[in-house]
Each structure stands twice: as C-alpha cells, then as structure tokens.
Chain A
Amino acid sequence: MTARALVQPFPIVTPDTNAMEAATTLAAQRLPGLIVCGDDRRPYTILPGSQVLRFLIPTYVQDDPALARALDEQASDELCRKLVHSTVRDLLPEPADLDELPVVEADATALEVAAVMARMHSPLVAVVDERDGNQVIGAITVRQLLEYLLPQQPAN
C-alpha cells in the first residue's frame, strides 16, 4: 500500500493563520497536528498539538510543573487567551528546528511513512504529489497508519 492510498484530506493552515483558529480546528476535528503550508501549498512544517501546549504553558511552569497547581481556572483561561492575538508562526519552534519536514511522496510505502514518523517523532506526515509541484494532497496520521499495519483483530 502506498501513501497515495492511505492519504486523507487534511486541514491546512499557513504561518499567518490565527492561532486560536488553528487550535480550535485541532480540538474540534480531534487531530494530532496540522500541516503548515506556504502560499504555494508546499509544506512548510507540521504543527503538532504538543507544540500548541508548549506555547500556551509558560516555560516556568514547564520547568516546575508543581506551580500549575497554584493556578486557578481563571488563570488557565488567561493562558488560552494568548492564542487570540497570535498566529501559527508564533506557535512554531525556532526556524533552526524546521530543517527537516515529516513529508513523504505519494508513492512512498506504508513502512516508509512509518519510518519517517518514527524518526521525526511526528504524529502525522504530510503527503505531497511530485507530479503536481510537490503540493500537499493530504496527510496520514499515526492512527490511520497503525490501523493499516496492525493485523486485523479476529471477531469475538
């Protein structure tokens, strides 16, 4: 099975998309991450859900998680409001970390897709079509890939 057969349409955002909009898409569609593309629809990077949390949670709380227990619901709402005035660009890691993208070509095999995900610790990979100028045609998530790779459970 190739990536083309596994790929599914996937929401795409750009670095200028509003961060709250992107986070809402992640939550509403229960996605592990989003594909970030440039204006030419070529993949720029993957925005995993954990990266959104890294942006929301101050580094001092990440360093000392016990501090989170001192914060109430109001403080939690305040943290989430940061997204309203931010863009996807603000959520992304430093450009230096974006050198390699979890992207596969449409004719990649399922194991190739798995290898990219494993090596890059990415919950999804973008699939591009080289016949169409390497534009993104969708994505494959870990769940979809495992459903295909794992042996079918015998019916009880």
Chain B
Amino acid sequence: MTQVLVVAAFVAAYVLIATDRIHRVAAALSGAAAMVLLGVVDARVAFFSEKTGVDWNVIFLLLGMMVIVSVLKQTGVFDYVAIWAAKRTRGRPFATMVMLVVITAVASALLDNVTTVLLIAPVTLLVCDRLALAPVPFLIAEALASNIGGTATLIGDPPNIIIASRGGLTFNDFLFNLAPVVVLLMVVFIGLCRVLFRSAFTYDPERVAALMALDEREVIRDRPLLIRSGIVLVAVMVGFVAHGALHLEPSMVALLGAGALVALSKLDAPKFLEEVEWPTLVFFMGLFVMVGALVEVGIIARLGSLLTEAVGGRYLLASSVLLGGSALLSGIVDNIPYVATVAPLVQTMVDAGHGVGQATALWWALTLGADLGGNATAVGASANVVVIGIAARAGHPITFWRFTKYGAVVAAVTIAVSWLYLWLRFYAFG
C-alpha cells in the first residue's frame, strides 16, 4: 500500500512540475513533504543517506559554480571576448555567428548554460545592431550551442552533475567520453547554421566601420579582478581534472574556488551571491527526497531489475532507447527531474553489467539524450526560454514554432550523430 501511495505522490508532483501548474519548487517540496508524511522519509534519510537523501555533492557543486560565475560576471570578460572575436571576423555575418556560437559552447562547457546565454545575448544584440543584422538567428544559434557545449563536461549542465554523482563518474570520464563527440557535434552544428540561417547572412561593408569602432577594452570593468579570477578559474579547472588524484570531490573543488574568489575579489555578499539561484537549489533538494523515497520503498530496485532483465546483454538497444527516449522527453519536460528519476534505474542496469564498457555507455546515452534533446523545442531547455525572453525584451520576439523549427532539426541531427558515435566507440569496436 505504501508503495502505491509513494508512486501516486511522486507522479502527482511530477505532473505538477511538468505542466507548470504551480511553481516547480513548490511542486518538488510538496512531493518531498508527501514522502515525509507517508513515513518513508525522515531526517536521517533526507539529510544523511548517501543513496536516498539529498545529494549534497550536487547542491554544493552548483552553489560553488554559481558563486564563481557571480564574481566572473563583475569583470566584463564575456563582453570583451565577444566584441574582440566579432571584430576579428571584420563583420562577415557567418564568421561572426561561428565565433559567437563557439564562444557560447566553450563557456557553456565550463559554466551553467543559462548564465552563459544571459552573458552572451546582450553583447550579441550589440554586435548585430552595429552590423544591421537580424539578431534572432544569432540568439537561437547561441541557445542551441549552449545546450550542445554544456554536454561536454561534468559541470556543463545540471543533469550531468546528477549523472556524475549517481554514477560515480569523474570530470575526466566526461571529458574523455563526451568532449570528443561534442567537438564533432559543434562542427556539424556550424554546418547546419550555414544552411538553416542562410538568409540572415547579409553583408553590408558600410556597417563594418560601426563594428570596428567598438572598443572592447572599455568593457573590462575591473582588470585586477579579471586577472585574479582567471588564475582561480584555471586552478579550479585543474582541480576538476585532477580531483581523483587529489581525493577531492568536484563539489569541494568548486567551493574552494568560490571561496578563493570571494576572498580575492573583496566583493560584498549580495554581489558574489548574485548568480546563486536559490530556487534551483531547493528544487534539487525536493527532487532528491522524492526520488529517494522511490528507492527507499524498493520501487527503483524492482523497476531496475525488470529493465535489466529486459535488456539482457543488449546494451546497444538499451543505449539507443535511452538516447532517443531521453531526447524526446527532454524536448517536452524539464530534463533535471527526468534525469534525477532515471539515473537510479540506469545505475541498476550499469551495475548489472559489472563494469563492462558497453554497460557504462548507458550513462553517456542518458547524458547526450537529456542534454541535446533540450534543443528540440522552445521550452526544452532553460537556456532557450531565457534567450526567447531577452529577444522579446529587445523587440525581436521569437515564437515557439520559429525556435522549434530550427531546434528540432538541430536536435534530430545531433542525436543521430551521437548514436553513431556511441555505436562506433562502444559497440562496433568497443
């Protein structure tokens, strides 16, 4: 009976999250509260259980990175890089788009996707304004690039952080298994941009002077802080790469980096906490308790063994279904609750594979599907929604279908390329 009630409470909360009937934080907390009231979760389970409680590694990794971004934002480095890069293209529209999407993808691999597009969109509007170009194709391309770039690393997208923590995967695991395919996907994506947005590339030589007149050095707000932040950011990245050898969890690396930046920047608390999304952190906590309850009552174990039995040894089939299914669902619903729910199931299937590479590849299928599927629709990823909001405020509204028209093509092609990559790397020759 308890199992039925737990599933009912979970599904109800999930529907509320997916349909946005109430704020997703309220929905997740209500779901967590229901689990407590049903007697499945108590303080010990919620706060101290590594398997069924709040995953503090995820929470503090997110918090640390948000603080780092808050400090970096004060330097003006993103505006500088974007203007500098646009000027190198001497105003050629396609080259400008390539520069901006590459910057977005690289930044998204190191920072949160939403933050990246929030930082890159204003300067994109400026560059397009100077060149008298329609900014919408550039903004859409950046949102899509941000979701692709974020797939490359453990810290690039929140679902990756959950997957890494649940699967015990390191920063380097992501780097070795996903960064190569993301580079390939970016090459394919740039080719797609050339075709999809071809009508946007009208070159006006007379406008080039307006772009070249922009002085990128002026946008650096605090040069000493920029240098110090750069050093700390490099140290944090080294820390992520070497976290296994250093015996430090990625969350500890991020918190140490955040602490160092706070100390060196001497910024006030409101400034260095500016980018901390408290609702997102609380949403994660609620989700962990909800999913933990499913684990506590044995539902995940039962579903996991059913799936493991169904899969048998056919990991290619399982990867394909996971990749395609995750992409489809992530295009419609928020990929964070989806990944939080599916990760324990994937864990069961991977564990049943006893460390075989083909079984471990299920994690990469889940990551690629969940991250890249977000490109499929205008509401598939937070970065898409944020870009649409910025464009509307700037007087360039992007309709749901306009975004989706491009996003669906990009999602379909990138998922197809990802499947090919998984097959070649882990199954055909793995």
Contact = CB atoms under 8 A, between A and B. Distances in A.
Contacts, number: 54
Contacts of B214: 70-72
Interface string A68-98: 0111101100100000000000000000000
A59 interface: yes
B32 interface: no
Interface string B91-128: 00000000000000000000000000000011101100
A61 B126 contact: yes
B121 A60 contact: yes
Interface residues of B, number: 22
Interface in A39-70: 58-61, 63-64, 66-67, 69-70
Contacts of B125: 58-60
B81 to A, nearest CB: 13
Contacts of B425: none
Given A69-B218, A75-B210, A59 B394 contact: yes
B79 A64 contact: yes
B213 A64 contact: no
Contacts of A70: 79, 83, 126, 214-216, 218-219
Contacts of B393: 59, 63
B394 A60 contact: yes
Contacts of A67: 79, 122-123, 126, 219
A108 to B, nearest CB: 37
Interface string B382-404: 00000000100111000000000
B122 A64 contact: yes
Interface in A81-133: none
Determine chain A's interface SS by DSSP, over half rule.
helix
A60 B83 CA distance: 14
Contacts of B395: 59
Contacts of A72: 213-215
Interface in B119-171: 121-123, 125-126, 129-130
Given A61-B126, A67-B219, A70-B219, 13 more contacts: A58-B126, A59-B125, A59-B394, A63-B122, A64-B122, A64-B123, A66-B221, A69-B215, A69-B218, A69-B219, A70-B79, A70-B215, A70-B216
29 contacts: A58-B125, A58-B394, A59-B125, A59-B393, A59-B395, A60-B121, A60-B122, A60-B126, A61-B122, A61-B126, A63-B122, A64-B79, A66-B76, A66-B79, A66-B219, A66-B221, A67-B122, A67-B126, A67-B219, A69-B218, A70-B79, A70-B83, A70-B215, A70-B216, A70-B219, A72-B213, A75-B130, A75-B210, A75-B213
Interface of B: 76, 79, 83, 121-123, 125-126, 129-130, 210, 213-216, 218-219, 221, 390, 393-395
10 tightest A-B CB contacts, nearest first: A60-B125, A60-B122, A69-B218, A64-B122, A70-B214, A59-B394, A59-B393, A66-B219, A63-B122, A66-B76
